[in-house]
Structure 1
Amino acid sequence: MTEPTNPQLRPMPEDWRRALAVVAHPDDLEYGCSAAVAVWTDAGREVAYVLATRGEAGIDTVPPSACGALREREQRASAAVVGVSTVEFLDHADGVVTYGPDLRRDIAAAIRRHRPELVITLNHRDTWGGVAWNTPDHVAVGRATLDAAGDAGNRWIFPELTDQGLEPWNGVRWVAVAGSSTPTHAVDATAGLDRAIASLLEHRTYIEALTDEAPETYARNFLTGVARSAGERYGGRPAVAFELFPR
C-alpha cells in the first residue's frame, strides 16, 4: 500500500510547561503560529519570544534608525495579546543574519536562560513549499535554532556560556517548525484564532506598508485561510501546523 499524499496531522504534545519561540523578525510568529500560542498560554503554559533582529530593514518608507524601535513596540504589544510577556531581541542586523557559530551561541544562550521543553521556530528551508523563495534570515535563524537546541545541552560547545553562569540545558524535547511544507502535527486554533488576528494587527505600520487592503481584512483573511488549509488535515478544525522534530 502507498502512503496517503496528505496524511492527517497528529496533535502536538501537551506534556510540557515551558516553550521558547525563536524567529528572525517582528511579525514572524504572528504570521506563523500565534493562535497556538494563545491556546497554550490559556492552558497555563509559559511561552517566551526571542527575535534575532528588530526588523529594522522591513519598511521601505521608514529608515532603520526609527524602524527598529517602532517594530519592537509593535512586537511587544502583539505578544501581549496572546499572553506572552517576555520578548527578547538578539540585535543581529535585519536582512543579513548569517548562519554560524555566533548565531548558534546566542540562541543556545537563550535556551539555557529560559530552559524550555519545546522550542518553536519558522521554516528554515530554501522555499515556502517549493513556490516562493524564503528569506536568508528565516533560513539562518530556523537552521541555527534546530542546531542550538543541541548546543544548549553540551557544556563543551560555547563553554563561555557556562562561565557567564548559563549552565547547560539538555531538557529540550522537541523543536517545532511553523510554516513547514511537510508538517506532522497541529494545534486546534479555534480558541486562539481571534486573538491571533488581533495580535497580527498590532503590526499595523508594517501591514499598512505591505498592502493597500484594510489591515483588519488582510489579517483576518490571511490567518483564517492558513488555519482552514491546515484544518483540512486535522479533522476539519482550523489549525496551526508544525513539523515536529523530537530530541
Structure 2
Amino acid sequence: MTLQPFPTDWRTALVLVPHPDDPEYGIGAAVAKWTSTGRTVHYALASRGEAGIEGLPPAEAGPAREREQIRAAAVVGVDLVEFWEFPDSRIRDTAELRARIADTIEVVAPDVVLTIFSGPEWAPGQPNQRDHIEFATAVTAAYDALADPPRWLFENGPDGTHGEVVDGFVDVAVESLAAHERYLSVLDPETPVYEQARRQVAETTAGRPEFGGRPTVEFILVRGGR
C-alpha cells in the first residue's frame, strides 16, 4: 500500500497504550519530531508493566518500569505521562476500560489519538499480544462512543496507510527505548541494551519509497479524516 503523509494540521496528540515501552517500541522517533516542532503529546498507559520483568515481584517491577517510562518519555519531549491501574498481562476490553479511555480523551481533548496495533499478527508467525489487541479494540470502541471525537484515530502497526518521515530523529528514539534499561536487560541478557534498542528502532523506521527511502514510522488510519 502506498503511504500518505501523516497529517500536519494538528497541535495535540494523545498516545494510549497498555504498557510501559509500548510507545518506544513503535513511535518514539515520530513523537520526538512532533515535540521538536512545538506540538504537545500526552501519554496514558493502562498499566505500570508490573508483570513485565521476569524474576522481579510486581511490587518492585511496577515502580521500576514506571520510572523508566517517565525517563523514556522525557527523552522525546513528553512530560505528560499518566498511569492507570489495570492489571498488566490481563488487560481486557471491558466497560471500565472503555470508560477510562473515553474520559481521558475528553479531558485531554486531542486533535489525534494514537494507539497500538489491534491485529492478530505483526507479521506471519509473529503473533500480537492479547493485551495489545484487547486494549486497541477498547480504544476504537471508546472513540466511537464519543459525541464529538477527535479528528483522527490511528494505530501504529504494519501495512500502514500514513507515514511520518523521521530522518534526524532515529538516534533520539534509540536513546528513548534504551531508557527501559532494566526491562531490556532482563528481556535479552545476551544483547546490550543499546543494541536491542537500535535494532528495534531500525525495524520500525524502515525507509519507504514514497518518501525517497527516508526512515518512516507507519500508522494505520482507523477513524477520521474530517
With normalisation by structure 2, the TM-score equals: 0.95
Q: Does 1:187 align with 2:169?
A: no
| Aligned partners of 2:26 and 2:204 also within 8 Å | no
Question: Who is 1:158 aligned against?
Answer: none
Corresponding position of 1:215: 193
| 1:214-244 residue CA offsets vs partner (Å, 9 max, x unmatched) | 111111122123312x524532000100001
The question of whether the paired residues in 2 share the 8 Å contact of 1:48 and 1:85 is answered with yes
Aligned mates of 2:209, 2:49 — CA distance in 1: 33
CA contact (8 A) 1:99 1:144 kept: yes
The answer to whether the aligner puts 1:226 opposite 2:204 as a matched pair is: yes
Q: Are 2:49 and 2:61, in contact at CA under 8 Å, matched by a contact in 1? A: yes
- Give 4+ residue runs of structure 1 displaced > 2 Å after superposition: 230-235
Q: Please give the per-residue CA displacement for 1:28-60, whole angstroms capped at 9, x wherever unaligned.
A: 010010100001111111100000000000011
Q: How does 1:47-66 map to 2 (within 5 A)?
A: 47-66=41-60
Q: CA deviation at 1:183?
A: 0.5
| Residue number in structure 2 paired with 1:8 | 2
Give the aligned length: 223
Query: How far did 1:64 drift?
Result: 0.4
* Structure 1 counterpart of 2:150: 172
1:81–1:198 CA contact under 8 A, matched in 2: yes
The match for 2:174 among 174, 179, 197 is: 197
| Counterpart amino acid of residue 72 in structure 1 | E
- The one-letter amino acid of 1:80's match is A
Distance 2:97 2:120 in 1: 18
Once the two structures are superposed, what CA deviation does each residue of 1:170-215 show, in whole Å capped at 9, x if it has no partner?
A: 2411111112x32111101112211110000100001001111111
Query: How do 1:129-140 residues align onto structure 2 when only pairs under 5 Å count?
Result: 129-140=123-134
Structure 2 unaligned regions, length at least 5? none
TM-score normalized with structure 1 length = 0.87
User: Which structure 1 segments of 5+ residues have no match?
Assistant: 1-6, 155-169
Counterpart AA for 2:214: R
Q: What RMSD, in angstroms, separates the aligned Cα atoms of the two structures?
A: 1.3
CA contact (8 A) 1:8 1:234 kept: no
